[in-house]
Chain A
Amino acid sequence: MSRLRTAALVGNPNAGKSALFNVLTGARQKIANYPGVTVERKAGRLILPSGEPLELIDLPGSYGLDATSPDEEVTRKVVLGEFEGEARPEVIVIVLDASNLEQHLVFAQEIVALGRPVVVALNMVDLAERDGLVLDPRALEQALGVPVVPTVAVRRRGIPDLVWAISNAEAKAEADSHDHRQPHLTLPERRLAARNIAKAAILSETAQHKLHARLDTVLLNPWLGPLVLFALLFVIFQAVFAWATPFADALEGLVAWLAEGVVDVVPAGLVQDFLVEGVLNGVGSVVVFLPQIVILFAFILFMEASGYMARAAFIMDRLMAYVGLSGRSFIPLLSSFACAIPGIMATRSIADPKDRLTTILIAPLMTCSARLPVYAVIIAAFIPNRSVGVGVGLQGLVLFALYVAGIVGAMVVALVLRRSVTQGAASGFIMELPKYQLPRLNDLLIGLWQRAWVFLRRAGTIIFMATVVLWILLSFPRALPGESQVDASIAGKLANGLAVVVEPIGFNRDIALALIPAMAAREVAVASLATTYAVDAEDEEEAALALGDQLSSRWSLPTALAFLAWFIFAPQCLSTIAVARRETNGWKWPAFMVAYLFALAYIFAGITYWSALALGL
Chain B
Amino acid sequence: MTLDTLPTSQSGRITAIDWSLLAPEEAQRLRALGIDEGAEVTIAHRGVFAGRDPIALEVGRMTVAIRRSHARAMTVEAA
Contact = CB atoms under 8 A, between A and B. Distances in A.
14 contacts: A100-B60, A103-B59, A222-B47, A314-B45, A317-B47, A317-B54, A321-B67, A327-B65, A428-B26, A429-B66, A430-B33, A430-B65, A432-B62, A433-B56
**Per DSSP, are chain A's interface residues mostly helix, strand or loop, or mixed?**
helix
Contact of B45 (A103, A131, A191, A216): A216
Interface residues of A, number: 42
A430 B70 contact: yes
B29 A351 contact: yes
Interface string A426-460: 10111111000000000000000000000000000
Contacts of A433: 56, 63-65
Contacts of B23: 352, 425, 428
Contacts of B61: 99-100, 102-103, 131
B49 A430 contact: no
B44 interface: yes
A226 B48 CA distance: 8
Given A102-B60, A425-B23, A432 B33 contact: yes
Given A187-B31, A313-B65, A432-B33, 19 more contacts: A63-B32, A66-B28, A68-B25, A99-B61, A106-B32, A131-B61, A216-B45, A226-B48, A314-B45, A315-B48, A317-B47, A317-B54, A318-B48, A428-B22, A428-B70, A429-B65, A430-B26, A430-B30, A430-B33
Interface residues of B, number: 35
Interface of B: 22-23, 25-26, 28-34, 36, 44-54, 56, 59-67, 69-70
B17 to A, nearest CB: 13
Contacts of B60: 100, 102-103
B28 A68 contact: yes
Contacts of A352: 23, 25
Nearest to B30: A430
B65 A318 contact: no
A314 B50 contact: no
A63 B56 contact: no
Contacts of A315: 47-48
B56 A318 contact: no
**Per DSSP, are chain B's interface residues mostly helix, strand or loop, or mixed?**
mixed
B66 A225 contact: no
Contacts of B53: 317-318, 321
Interface in A397-439: 425-426, 428-433
Nearest to B37: A188
Contact of B29 (A63, A220, A313, A321): A63
Contacts of B69: 426, 428
